[in-house]
């Protein structure tokens, strides 16, 4: 078993994305980082840029998740950090009564069940760590009380995406309860409105390097840090 910290980040396929910058910052700290994406070639190209490793993974496919767990067991014998970053289905302008149910099903399969699959498969490896961290990348859109994007506000115009993130927040809470007393901490993090696409900076989005700071913080919490919380900018965010 290696003594280096082993970090796994899902959904890393774009240089402007949260996952790529998170990987870059964790690698700069000296961690051994593995990034994954459905498009394995895209992940490999990004990995070469920052000196990390890449693996092909579709989080909606049980067999691929199990294959990944087996590979990590053989290669490293443990896992220290799991960052569930894979997510999509941002249905801007959609309405619940007009939502296509196939779209809804696929959104939940990726944004909620994908993270759930990963955690179930990798907890045995996380238990081998001296201080494992699970970070579920969430959104204020999945909060009731977020003053700008919350479910209770008219500005929330992404109903399907929001509900998947609300469910992910709920999963974070119940997992933290089950893992209480172990060395595994699990938290949800909202990075905020981040400039992950061209032109969004002009709308007020913060730089990606700033947006991932909360994710990196949650991935590197000390053993007396929180578990079962929802955070933005390293501060608790209302559910």
Which residues are the active-site residues?
161
| Closest to 164 measured CA to CA, from 212, 213, 105 | 105
Question: Can you tell me which residue has the tokens 């939940």?
Answer: 108
Query: Which distant-in-sequence residues (6+ apart) come within 8 Å of 46 by Cβ?
Result: 12, 13, 14, 15, 20, 23, 35, 54
Residue 151: count of CB within 10 angstroms of its CB: 17
62 is written with which tokens? 């049980």
Element (H, E) at 9: strand 6-9
Torsion on CA atoms 24, 119, 84, 170, rounded to nearest 10: -140
């Amino acid at each position: 078993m290696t003594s280096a910290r082993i970090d796994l980040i899902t959904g890393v396929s774009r240089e402007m994305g949260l996952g790529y910058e998170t990987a870059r910052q964790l690698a700069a700290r000296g961690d051994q980082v593995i990034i994954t994406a459905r498009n394995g070639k895209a992940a490999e190209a990004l990995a070469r840029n920052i000196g990390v490793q890449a693996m092909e993974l579709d989080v909606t496919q049980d067999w691929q998740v199990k294959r990944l767990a087996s590979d990590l067991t053989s290669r490293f014998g443990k896992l220290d950090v799991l960052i569930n970053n894979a997510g999509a289905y941002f249905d801007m302008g959609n309405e619940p009564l007009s939502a296509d149910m196939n779209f809804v099903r696929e959104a939940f399969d990726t944004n909620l069940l994908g993270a759930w699959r990963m955690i179930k498969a990798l907890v045995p490896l996380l238990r081998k760590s001296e201080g494992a961290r699970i970070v579920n990348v969430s959104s204020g859109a999945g909060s009731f009380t977020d003053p700008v994007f919350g479910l209770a506000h008219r500005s929330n115009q992404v109903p399907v995406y929001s509900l998947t993130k609300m469910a992910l927040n709920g999963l974070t809470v119940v997992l933290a309860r089950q893992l209480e007393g172990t060395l595994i901490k699990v938290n949800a993090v909202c990075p905020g409105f981040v400039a992950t696409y061209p032109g969004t900076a002009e709308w007020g989005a913060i730089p990606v390097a700033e947006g991932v700071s909360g994710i990196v913080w949650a991935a590197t919490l000390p053993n007396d840090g929180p578990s079962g919380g929802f955070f933005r900018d390293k501060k608790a965010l209302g559910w």
